[in-house]
Amino acid sequence: MGKWVADVVLDGALNIVAGATRMVAVNGQPASFAAANAGKLAEAVMAPADFTLAAGDVSGRKVTVAAKNGLAVLSNGSADHVALLDATRLLYVTTCPVQSLPTGGTVNFAAWAVEIGAPV
């Protein structure tokens, strides 16, 4: 017999990711909400309209995170990870191209996606 999952099941997990209220650039993979929040080099406020659910590129479902441009650099450092946070939780972390961020400068977050594949 084959394997199958309803879109609504995968969307349930992706909707938690899409509940993020902030996206932060950090140096190194944060292990907790506190680490991501304390180590943020730049920050973008996120709204529901910044997340788009759709069919996955390979299979399953994905949520695309909108690009954010011209954000103020809050702290000097080298960003190599991006994290999504809600009010109290670290929801998702991914890598990004390493970028040196000087305090007082600005940074852009490119659009990116989280994809959950269909069962195989």
| pLDDT 10s digits, 61-88 | 999 999 999 999 999 999 999 999 999 9
Residue-level pLDDT at 74: 98
Residue-level pLDDT at 36: 98
Residue-level pLDDT at 1: 76
Count of structural domains, the chain: 1
Distance between CA atoms of residues 42 and 103, nearest Å = 9
Is residue 35 included in any domain, yes or no?
Answer: yes
Is residue 112 included in any domain, yes or no?
Answer: yes
**pLDDT tens, N- to C-terminus, the chain (120 residues):** 799 999 999 999 999 999 999 999 999 999 999 999 999 999 999 999 999 999 999 999 999 999 999 999 999 999 999 999 999 999 999 999 999 999 999 999 999 999 999 999
Residue-level pLDDT at 62: 98
Is residue 12 included in any domain, yes or no?
Answer: yes
| Structural domain range at position 112 | 7-116
